[in-house]
């Protein structure tokens, strides 16, 4: 079994970005500027956004954190998005999801200027990605592709099974894995909560990408020998013995599955750090799109 070290690769990518930022500054250009909008006080969302802002500093980007109250109206939030769309100093921005229930997330996503949509959630970017055109690719699937590429894992002609069909992970990664080109050309099966005989599909996977959010869902007996396992799941599980009161669990029972896998990502330290690194990569791209 070979561990896919997302933490190490993410640090490498950040160093590469940092070098590019130095070069920009040497040429008299401004460093890229990422803004993050957070609505409310959800603990996990605050942690994610905090890490994103911290990572900007690490690579020399400018960053702006916009914290808005839980009870902000949809119109007020749309107004904030519009200001960011028009602000020439901001190259790219994200609106951290989930949003409070009274706000229509689709409406907010649609209101973001696609050229600044570094999360890659706008239909314009999603559509371009599906058509194989240059676009912002959602950071988590982008990170998975990058990991497979950097570990030189062969995907062409392989059977990839994706568990989960969300628009931020399952669906985009299934499109990318069966697209032509880098880390693609795979034959993809997407399974979800309505799939019958899900275990049969999982057992047939050469590459298994799990994004369902159920801790330890994938067990040793469900996978075949030599499988490549990418565990996207991140779930906080209460653990009174830990300092924080919870532990982070993936979808895969790592301890039992690792002996059967040829490659496997740990949780934490696998896909998670890559998501942030690829958001930074998208921000660098937005800088060139908008200048
Ligand atoms: P989501 O929107 O809740 O989607 C979950 C998907 O899994 C759905 O398609 C659902 O099927 C399917 N599913 C749920 N229970 C299932 C079951 N028992 N059997 C088969 N399929 C099942 O979640 P998400 O946003 O894609 O996130 C998935 C996980 O990845 C979460 O743990 C999340 O925290 C994590 N995540 C990690 C990162 C990272 O950076 N590492 C980034 C994003 C998300 P239906 O469609 O039929 O409901």
Pairing between strand 235-238 and 246-249?
antiparallel
Distance in angstroms (rounded) separating the CA atoms of residues 129 and 168: 13
Summarised one tens digit per residue, pLDDT across range 199-216 is 999 999 999 999 999 999
Taking the alpha carbons of 194, 197, 203, 206 in that order, is the dihedral positive or negative? negative
The answer to whether 107 touches 77, Cβ cutoff 8 Å, is no
Low-confidence ranges of the chain (pLDDT < 50): none
Task: Please give the number of the atom of ligand 1 that sits closest to the Cα of 251.
Answer: 32
Q: Whose CA is nearest to atom 40 of ligand 1?
A: 272
Tell me the three state secondary structure of residue 138.
coil
Same CATH topology for 27-113 and 139-272: the answer is: yes
- What CATH class has 139-272? alpha beta
* DSSP assignment letter at 98: P
| Cα gap 82→196, rounded to integer Å | 44
pTM for this predicted structure: 0.97
143 Cβ contact partners less than 8 Å away, ≥ 6 residues apart: 6, 10, 271, 274, 275, 277, 278
- Which residue's alpha carbon is nearest to atom 35 within ligand 1? 233
Our answer on whether the CB atom of 138 is closer than 6 Å to any ligand 1 atom is: no
What was the pLDDT predicted at 289?
78
Residue to substitute in 222, 232, 267, 269 for testing ligand 1 pocket (most ligand atoms within 8 angstroms of CB): 232
Would you say 55 and 17 are in contact if contact means Cβ atoms under 8 Å apart?
no
Hey, which residues are catalytic here?
A: 52, 96, 119
pLDDT of residue 288: 80
User: For residue 211, how far is its CA from the centre of ligand 1 (angstroms)?
Assistant: 5
- 71's enclosing H/E stretch is none
Q: Indicate if ligand 1 lies below 6 Å from the C-beta of 273.
A: no
pLDDT score at 43: 87
Q: How far is CA 261 from the centre of its chain?
A: 23
Q: Does the CB atom of residue 212 touch ligand 1 within 6 A?
A: yes
Query: Which pLDDT value is given to residue 44?
Result: 86
CA Rg, the chain, in Å?
19
Counting beta carbons within 10 angstroms of the beta carbon of residue 88, is it exposed (0 to 12), middle (13 to 18) or buried (19 or more)? exposed
The confidence score (pLDDT) of residue 208 equals: 99
Residue closest to 191 by CA, chosen among 214, 183, 103: 214
Domain ranges of the chain: 27-113, 139-272
Q: What is the CATH number of domain 27-113?
A: 3.40.50.10860
Query: Which residues have CB under 8 Å from 241's CB, separation 6+?
Result: none
**Which phi-psi region, left, alpha or beta, contains residue 269 (left: φ > 0; alpha: ψ -120 to 50)?**
left
């Amino acid at each position: 079994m070979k561990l896919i070290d997302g933490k190490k690769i993410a640090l490498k990518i950040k160093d590469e970005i940092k070098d590019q930022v130095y070069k920009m500054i040497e040429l008299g250009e401004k460093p890229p500027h990422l803004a993050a909008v957070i609505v409310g006080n959800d603990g996990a969302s605050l942690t994610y956004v905090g890490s994103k802002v911290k990572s900007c500093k690490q690579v020399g980007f400018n960053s702006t954190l916009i914290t808005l109250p839980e009870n902000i109206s949809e119109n007020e939030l749309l107004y904030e998005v519009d200001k960011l769309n028009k602000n020439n100093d901001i190259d790219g921005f994200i609106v951290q999801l989930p949003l409070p229930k009274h706000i229509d997330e689709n409406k907010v996503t649609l209101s973001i200027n696609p050229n600044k949509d570094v999360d890659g959630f706008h239909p314009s970017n999603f559509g371009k990605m599906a058509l194989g055109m240059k676009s912002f690719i959602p950071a988590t699937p982008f990170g998975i592709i990058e990991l497979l590429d950097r570990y030189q894992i062969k995907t062409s002609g392989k059977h990839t099974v994706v568990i989960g069909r969300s628009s931020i992970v399952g669906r985009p990664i299934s499109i990318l894995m069966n697209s032509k080109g880098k880390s693609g050309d795979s034959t993809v099966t997407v399974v979800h909560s309505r799939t019958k005989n899900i275990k049969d599909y999982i057992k047939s996977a050469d590459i298994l990408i799990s994004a369902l959010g159920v801790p330890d869902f994938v067990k040793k007996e469900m996978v075949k020998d030599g499988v490549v396992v990418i565990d996207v799941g991140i779930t906080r599980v209460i653990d009174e013995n830990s300092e924080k009161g919870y532990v982070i669990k993936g979808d895969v029972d790592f301890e039992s599955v690792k002996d059967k896998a040829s490659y496997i990502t740990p949780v934490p330290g696998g896909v998670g750090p890559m998501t942030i690194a690829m958001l930074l990569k998208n921000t660098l791209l937005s800088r060139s799109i908008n200048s």
